[in-house]
Amino acid sequence: MPVRYYAVRIGREGPKIYSNYHDFQMAICGLSGSSGKGFDTYREAEAWLTGVPMPAASVTNVTSQTTTTMVWEVSSDSHQGSTLASTSTTISYQTGARPYPEPQPGRRWFEYESPLNTRHARPNGDRLTPPPPYIPLARYNMPREPELPPPLPPQPAVELSEEQKQVLRLVQNGKNIFFTGPAGTGKSVLLRAIIDMLRVKFGGEVAITAPTGIAGVNIGGSTIYSWAGIRLGKEGVQQLLVVSGDFFQLPPVPDQDSTTIIPSTFAFDALSWSRCIDEPVSLTKVFRQKDNKFVDMLSATRSGKLLDWHIREFMKLKRVVDYSDGISPTQLFPLKSQVESCNKTHLDVLSGEQVTYSAMDSRGFDMHENRIPIVVAEQLLDRLVVPKVISLKIGAQVMLLRNLLQGKLVNGSLGKVIDFMTTHEATQCFIEIANLDTPAQRAPNGDFLPTLPPGVDDEDKYKGLLALDRQEFTKHERFPLVRFTNDVHLLCAPLSFTVEGLKGNVEAQRIQVPLVLAWAMSIHKAQGQTMTRVKVDLQRIFEKGQAYVALSRATSLEGLEVIGFDPSRVLAHPRVIDWQASWQAQRDQEEEMDMDWAIEQYYSSTDISV
Ligand SMILES: Nc1ncnc2c1ncn2[C@@H]1O[C@H](COP(=O)(O)OP(=O)(O)OP(=O)(O)O)[C@@H](O)[C@H]1O
């Protein structure tokens, strides 16, 4: 067989020319926004890659018994393909076949070569076939189309608002800071930006801590169990302290041992707090909700001061919202037992095969380089939102626990399991695969490699992690293929979730499919989430701030159902109200003085006589 060349403009290894089809496929398969093309000669590939056109006559058409080149254009905003060439391909699709994942918005051009028999047989005899909106536009026996348009730039990250930038600048200038703000004002987004900035500045010397699992995941994939371990103002924080949170939301679950229950206290109670931190900086612009009426209702819920019209509007939300895609809103409950029972009932109703995933857990070292004891590692991992064991069936409703595909899927994205397949099968079908972020997990051909052989303690390769129980995910293992509410499809292969120590040391790691069952979720675990469809049951609310956390997860009134709304249970903690009042009054006074001073300056410097 003659050697062929494959040029990749956007791929895992950057722009590159491959002479091996398999390597080419691995460079682009499942990679959002990838772009590549096959050629008969190196020069043609190079010309395409560098944008220097070849004389038309020298471009030979690709002919082969077994391969076909397909060009698809997928519009970034409508999911509808459109035909660029007048002759379209005649690949026929089996009717009644299982749907093939649809293209994602943002991937406008995607060209690749695939064996005609890519539509591999499934164990039950049916096939994954690509129906529209992937519309094949050209075949190898057609004249080559004109030069492709330049690839789309990567999706821009969220641009920080002026007030977020202001906080970033303060940190850049070395100021210890506490920034707060209502739910959805972008505290996590800002914290991630600060962490990125500090990591560039201080390298590995940045310790990140969060009191709850989901909050930890939100700010960078890690959680530290010992919030108190920071020892404000003493060891552990050498240079700079950045703290963020909203005391009007739920406090961390208090630590307890067998005999004493330690009541939750607020960080501002600590003696070291005022030593380290000036008064808070407040973010005010709410991003999660766009509707001012809803923002107002939530603001009143936060302070526990509901007016009559707020109550009337919340009462109106007791209705059923229908969603045509069959993905129901996630129900938020105050109690774990309510969550477990709801999820179990729904899963039991589904008839298909149940597939269970046990996490691959391992333990590392504490900040003094002592091995973390097994029991401690297990406790740390228990605090993660990602479960140790999860059972799924086709039809199971799930929530993603990671931001993936450049923001197309986020921590909190809701979806349904539509199939189970191996990473190899997903690669063959050009399905996006959750990015595997632990070095030893994936072989170059996309298969899983055994990761932690018993007793292996190779510092470089495994960061000194020792397996707690399960040793590996195998290449034969099938993982859940999930269709999300925005129609993006993803093979949810396992990802790594870590618990990190103050020096960034990995104390414990869980490798697990990045999903939780999502017919129901506890309000505690939903903290930090942004949800487009949510149903809140407030009947058994028991904590101040709990109703606020639950209601403020929703992005819109349209996507929010509320049952059991009782205004008398919408409460803010009196100590938090007092604390806020103490600095707010002072700030208002300062602002007033600033205003008086500005007016005085204006009149003293301006001739206002007429
Ligand atoms: N500058 C920004 N521009 C546009 N969207 C933003 C911006 N900052 C944050 N967002 C979006 O607002 C939503 C809420 O952000 P985020 O989760 O950071 O808020 P939060 O204050 O941490 O919320 P919570 O207190 O509920 O955890 C997210 O969807 C995020 O992408």
Q: Contact 567/539 with Cβ under 8 angstroms?
A: no
> Tokens standing for 60?
């030979």
Q: Are 59 and 48 in contact (CB under 8 A)?
A: no
With a cut of 0.85, is the ipTM above it?
yes
What is the Cα–Cα distance from 226 to 380, expressed in whole angstroms? 10
Query: With a 6 A CB cut-off, is 161 part of the ligand 1 pocket?
Result: yes
Residue with CA closest to ligand 1 atom 30: 186
- Percent pLDDT > 70 in the chain is 64
- Residue 15 pLDDT grade (very low, low, confident, very high; cuts 50, 70, 90): confident
Sheet arrangement for strand 222-223: 222-223, 495-500, 506-512, 360-363, 466-467
pLDDT at 430: 82
Residue 223 has which token pair? 């959680």
- Of 291 and 38, the structure prediction assigns the larger pLDDT to 291
Say yes or no: CB of residue 187 within 6 Å of ligand 1: yes
Looking from the CA of residue 287, the nearest atom of ligand 1 is 12
pLDDT (0 to 100) of residue 244: 87
Atom number, ligand 1, closest to the C-alpha of residue 245:
25
CA angle 459, 462, 467 (to 5 degrees): 115
| 158 in contact with ligand 1, CB cutoff 6 A | yes
Give the pLDDT score at 115. 28
* CA-wise closest residue to 487 among 193, 74, 138, 127: 74
Instruction: Work out the number of other CB atoms within 10 angstroms of the CB of residue 554.
Output: 28
pLDDT tens profile 142-195: 333 334 334 334 444 678 999 999 999 998 888 888 899 999 999 988 988 888
Cα(282) to centroid(ligand 1), Å: 14
Claim: this prediction has a pTM higher than 0.80:
no
CA atoms within 13 A on the CB side of 606: 8
Q: pLDDT by residue (tens digit) across 378-429?
A: 988 988 889 999 999 999 999 999 888 877 888 889 999 999 998 888 888 8
Provide mean pLDDT across the span 502-511: 80
Q: Residue 286: CB within 6 Å of ligand 1?
A: no
Q: Name the closest-CA residue to atom 8, ligand 1.
A: 186
Is pLDDT above 60 for 255? no
Residues 449-490 have pLDDT tens digits of: 444 434 444 443 445 678 787 666 776 789 999 999 888 999
275 versus 163: the higher-pLDDT residue is 163
Is residue 186 lining ligand 1, measured as CB closer than 6 Å? yes
Q: pLDDT at position 452, please?
A: 42
Q: 27 CB contacts (<8 Å, ≥6 apart)? A: 8, 11, 12, 13, 16, 18, 34, 36
The label of the residue with tokens 């086709």 reads 394
| Pocket flag, ligand 1, residue 160 (CB < 6 Å) | yes
120-129, 296-305, 434-443: segment of lowest average pLDDT? 120-129
| Lowest pLDDT segment from 238-252, 399-413, 420-434, 572-586 | 238-252
At residue 561, the 3 state secondary structure works out as strand
Q: How far apart are CA 191 and CA 200, in angstroms?
A: 14
Ligand 1 pocket residue status of 529, Cβ below 6 Å? no
Per-residue pLDDT for 272 more than 60?
yes
With a 6 Å cutoff on the Cβ, whether 246 touches ligand 1 is yes
Please work out whether the CB of residue 287 comes within 6 Å of at least one atom of ligand 1: yes
Spatial CB neighbours of 10, under 8 Å, sequence gap ≥ 6: 28, 31, 33, 34, 35, 36, 151
Q: Give tens-digit pLDDT for 40-54.
A: 788 888 877 776 555
Report which residue type is found at 573: H
Ligand 1 geometric centre to CA of 189 (Å): 6
Is the alpha carbon torsion for 539, 544, 550, 555 positive or negative? Answer: positive
pLDDT at 362: 87
Q: Is the CB of 130 under 6 A from ligand 1?
A: no
pLDDT in tens, 521-562: 999 888 888 899 999 989 888 888 999 999 999 999 999 999
| CB atoms near residue 8 (< 10 Å) | 24
Indicate if ligand 1 lies below 6 Å from the C-beta of 288: yes
Residues 6+ apart with CB under 8 A from 583: 279, 280
Backbone φ/ψ region at 407: left (φ over 0), alpha (ψ -120 to 50), beta: left
Instruction: Domains for the chain: give ranges and CATH numbers.
Output: 5-50 (no CATH), 162-282 (3.40.50.300), 352-439+472-526 (no CATH)
CA 79 – CA 77 distance, rounded (Å): 6
Residue 281 has pLDDT above 60, yes or no: yes
Q: Tell me how far CA of residue 189 lies from CA of 270, 375, 396, 533, in angstroms.
A: 26, 33, 30, 21
From the list 383, 432, 426, 384, the residue with the least C-alpha distance to 408 is 432
Among candidates 331, 389, 377, which has minimal Cα distance to 512?
A: 389
Q: Is the CB of 530 under 6 A from ligand 1?
A: yes
Give the ligand 1 atom nearest the CA of 218. 17
Distance 138 CA to ligand 1 centre (A): 42
Token pair, residue 52, equals 């220097």
For residue 610, how far is its CA from the centre of ligand 1 (angstroms)? Answer: 50
pLDDT score of 164: 94
What is the pLDDT, as a whole number, of residue 304?
Answer: 93
Look at residue 606 in the predicted model and tell me its pLDDT: 64
Q: How far is the centre of ligand 1, averaged over its atoms, from the C-alpha of 184 (Å)? A: 5
Reduced to 3 states, what is the DSSP secondary structure of residue 562? strand
164 lines ligand 1 (CB under 6 A): yes
Q: Looking at residue 531, what DSSP letter applies?
A: B
Nearest CA to ligand 1 atom 16: 186
Q: Is a pLDDT exceeding 50 seen at residue 296?
A: yes
Nearest alpha carbon, ligand 1 atom 5: 287
Q: Using a 6 Å cutoff on CB, does residue 183 contact ligand 1?
A: yes
Residue 412 backbone class (left: φ over 0; alpha: ψ -120 to 50; beta: rest):
left
Using CA positions, which residue lies closest to atom 15 of ligand 1? Answer: 186
Whose alpha carbon is nearest atom 7 of ligand 1? Answer: 186
Give the DSSP per-residue string, 502-529.
Answer: TTS-EEEEEEE-SEEE-SEEEHHHHTT-
CA distance 383 to 483: 27
Q: Which protein residue's CA is at the shortest distance from atom 29 of ligand 1?
A: 288
